[in-house]
Amino acid sequence: MNDTNDALVIEGLAGGYDRFDVIHDISFRVARGEAVAILGPNGAGKTTVLRAIMGLLKHRRGRIAIEGTDVTRMSPHRVARGLAAMVPEGRRLFEGQSVEDNLRLGGIRLRRDRDRTSRLLQDVFDLFPVLKRYRDRDATALSGGEQQMVAIGRMMMSDPALMLLDEPSLGLAPLAVADLTAALRRLREQYRSILLVEQRVDLALEVCDRIYVVYGGRIVDEGRADEMGAEGRALIDAYLG
């Protein structure tokens, strides 16, 4: 694979927990400005891939590069310094902190660059106007959909080259999922590089350029979202169970 025009390149990735591999020979890429989804059932290894990218999992084999930088053995705090940022499953907001405090903590590496931090904060408020109205409220007192907005905004505040989202629609009401989908589409239109882990096929197909399906820790199918007809969707649904 050639890293030149890629936000992310993964080659032959294998790893897991203790002595057991969860993912096996995973290889794929995300081009700069592209949104890519990883679909699969629970336990397929989707989150393990994200953890490996962030340096949170010491994989046994393979190579990972972000924007041409080899991060295969890089520590999580170095990866998080502008290379990649993740919205984890369950959001994990800072309890007892306001919306704005949560957002600013996401951009703590840029705290000395006040102009840049202010621009990033305004970008978040432009994407999620409700957060500007609620900027002084306790973030964990908001609705599930609003908390997810805070989590995405916190990720944006570090201005990463690659955005990782782990099951962002999980537990959200239909209206909140619609708002989430619209926000992700806007980020894609802004030429942001996105890797989305999801179980909702409809959301992934609407937001992403390409789809990878993971089953049993291996990539078993892939394709362009705009070329995936009823047969392709049926195949994905079969893997998802």
**Domains of the chain with CATH codes:** 1-83+162-241 (3.40.50.300), 94-159 (no CATH)
Mean pLDDT of the chain: 90
CA dist., res. 37 & res. 22, Å (int): 19
Q: Are strands 69-70 and 61-66 parallel, antiparallel or unpaired?
A: antiparallel
What global pTM score does this model have? 0.92
Distance from C-alpha of 188 to C-alpha of 185, rounded to nearest angstrom:
5
Expressed in percent and rounded to 5, the helix, strand and coil fractions of the chain are 40, 30, 35
Q: Write the burial class of residue 109 (CB in 10 Å: 0-12 exposed, 13-18 middle, 19+ buried).
A: middle
Instruction: Report pLDDT for 1.
Output: 47
CA gap 32, 69 in Å, rounded: 14
pLDDT of residue 112: 83
User: Residue 108: what pLDDT?
Assistant: 83
Q: How far apart are the first and last CA of the chain?
A: 32
